[in-house]
Structure 1
Amino acid sequence: MELAPMDGNVEEDKTYNNLLKKFKIAVLFTLPVFIISMSAMFALMCTNILQRRLQQPFQ
């Protein structure tokens, strides 16, 4: 039982490649924005951990 024809539709391949290219471009532009926006949260988390460590008495 075949789910897709084996002859290979050229138009579907072009559409797939076009959408794949657009997806890669979208990821390329999204990652820097995501990293910049999450860096503040990561820095805040690191400072909180550091403050907790420094408040504990040394043993």
Structure 2
Amino acid sequence: MTPAGEQLLAHHAALLAIPALVPAVVVVGVVLYIARKDRRDEAEERDLIERAFEKDDDGEDDA
């Protein structure tokens, strides 16, 4: 219980941190999205190269 005449207020440090926290979370999200997309593209490229070399190993020519 709060004694009579006292009021509980939010701590000002928490209020000041909110505007700095939101952009930081957005930046982290963008970095994670780019990293995930880059890894996915790299895996697709690696699979494409492996498939191209597998055809050459079987004695088949592309031309």
Is the radius of gyration larger for structure 1 or structure 2? 2
Q: Normalising by the residue count of structure 2, what TM-score does the alignment of the two structures yield?
A: 0.46
Structure holding more helix per residue:
1
